[in-house]
Amino acid sequence: MFGTLRTLALFGFLTGLFMVAGYVIAGYGVMGGDPVGAMVLFGVLAAVLNVGSYFFSHKIVLWSYKAKIVTREEAPRLYAIVERVALKADLPMPKVAVIPMNVPNAFATGRSPKHAVVAATQGILQMLDDEELEGVMAHEVAHVRNRDMLIMTVAATVAGAITFAARMLFWNALFGGGDNRNPATLAIGFAFMLLAPVAAIIIQLAISRSREFEADRVGAEISGKPWALARALQKMENVAKRAPLTEQHANPTTASLFIVNPFRGGGLSGLFRTHPRTEERVRRLEAML
């Protein structure tokens, strides 16, 4: 119930922000400068995005990373580990996907345990031994059991939509027509362009950090090997520090989905952490021994 309420709150927040964006863009000539019409139009767009996020956000995420759903024959080692972990967690067998990426990482997505997908990169399959990989998959299956996947996937989609809306407003302010000299419109537009991307990241911060600690704990209980997950986290963090992903390779708004944040460096992704510090996660796991 709490997860459903959080998802509805996200949808409501997105709708409100889009309607504000419609009001501001009306000042630049959209919908003939009619703020009410523009707000209704952007409210409808937000509703369509909300429905699409609920049913298709996991497919969008998998598509954006070119993840391929694999069978037992195509990825026997990964499939067997996920199957074993799902059995321990008393959950339906999720679909298994492989991401063609050398960076070691993983995530879970889907709107419910019956529609879950657990995805692993090629890099993590090459780097981790069986115990460590089982620890990571147990963490992702814990997200499935805790029903975190929908809220985290929707949060990533909402963050991307908010960032897109803010950029659209920015370019409209530079090159759009209409009466953009209205002080109220200018003030609201400037505030939206400045604060909307920050709000997108804060949404993910509020959701992601506590969920990662809980998934670490539950995952360690499922696998019975907290040390294996701790080792895996350290290895992945080391790679993320040496060779982080950039916006050329992927969208930073999806960072909260991964078990370890693969992005570092400039932009808003460098100002906020979507994950708890790996050192603290390792410390908590070691305390379970």
The residue type at 217? R
> Which helix (H) or strand (E) is 117 found in, with range?
strand 117-121
Which one of the listed residues 132, 140, 212, 237 is annotated catalytic?
A: 140
Give which of 140, 285, 142, 141 is closest to 227, Cα–Cα. Answer: 285
Q: What's the token pair of residue 55? A: 């049913």
d(Cα 200, Cα 154) in Å, to the nearest integer? Answer: 11
Catalytic residue list contains 214: no
Tokens 């409100």 correspond to what residue? 16
CA distances 206 to 91, 129, 209, 230, 272, Å, are 27, 32, 7, 23, 11
Contacts of 172 by beta carbon, 8 Å cutoff, 6+ apart: 25, 28, 30
Residues marked as catalytic? 140
